Amino acid sequence: MFTGIIEGLGTISDVRSGHGKQLTVEADFDVNGTEIGDSIAVNGACLTVVELYSRRFKVDVSPETIEKTTFNRIKTGDSVNLERALRLSDRIDGHLVSGHIDGTGIVRHREITGNAIIVTVGVHESLSRYMIPKGSVAVDGVSLTINEWSRGSFSVSIIPHTARLTTVGFKNIGDAVNIETDMIGKYVERFVTDKKQIKTSPLDMEFLLKTGFI
């Protein structure tokens, strides 16, 4: 589990491809306390550390993750957002982020308004259905608040701090980003859908008699 508050940036120093991919990442911050087997969100995708050398670590990327994320086009030299897994004692300054990417989006527009960068991201309607104005979304693992929403797109406001410390600040029009929608919306939809499909019987004396309780 993560919060969407990025700890720092990493640089992809090696990409090895096979049935999946193995990425070597150089972090720009101290990862002391991280161990092999720990989870790190790389551009929002929860990946497991398989090798660790000081600030450099390796993660395996499965074919499923490659298909659903921007890792299908990642290359040596790319910058990535990094966040280590949430501890139970941590503050949740962003929102609850699972690290399980729902799909990708494309940066459609960006403009500077005051001290902020307004970024509009195009997404498939299957993703935008879980978004609402002022709701939360993770873009490349960054917890952001949705300013405006329409079917197939949303816009977010990037403050200078976020622009400086994450990759979202230097994304250009046409760039792909990983998207994780708010998990609460997905659970609510499943609950409501399942509830409609369940045929309920009245709990009365006749029901209890038929089922052998009395």
Confidence category of residue 122, pLDDT binned at 50, 70, 90? very high
Residue 196 is predicted with a pLDDT of 64
Indicate the pLDDT class of residue 195, thresholds 50, 70 and 90: low
| Whole-number Å distance between alpha carbons of 148 and 184 | 19
Contact (Cβ atoms closer than 8 angstroms) between residue 46 and residue 55 = no
The reply to whether 8-84 and 103-197 are identical in fold is yes
User: Domain 103-197 classified CATH 2.40.30.20?
Assistant: yes
Q: What is the pLDDT of residues 135-178, one digit of tens each?
A: 999 999 999 999 999 999 999 999 999 999 999 999 999 999 99
56 Cβ contact list (under 8 Å, min separation 6): 13, 24, 25, 26, 27
Give the model confidence (pLDDT) of 76-91 as tens digits: 999 999 999 988 777 7
Beta bridge partners of 154: 121, 149
Q: Give mean pLDDT, residues 59-87.
A: 95
Q: Where are the domains of the chain?
A: 8-84, 103-197
Q: For 50-76, what is the mean pLDDT?
A: 95
* Pair type for strands 116-122 and 153-158: antiparallel
Strands 21-27 and 39-42: unpaired
Cα distance between the two ends of the chain? 47
pLDDT in the model for residue 201: 57
Q: Which of 106, 154, 158, 107 is nearest to 132 (CA)?
A: 154
Topology, domain 8-84 = Elongation Factor Tu (Ef-tu); domain 3 (2.40.30)
The whole-number pLDDT of residue 143 equals 96
* pTM (predicted TM-score): 0.86
Does residue 108 carry a pLDDT above 90? yes
CB half-sphere exposure, 54, CA atoms < 13 A: 2
List phi, psi (to 5°) of 69.
-125, 180
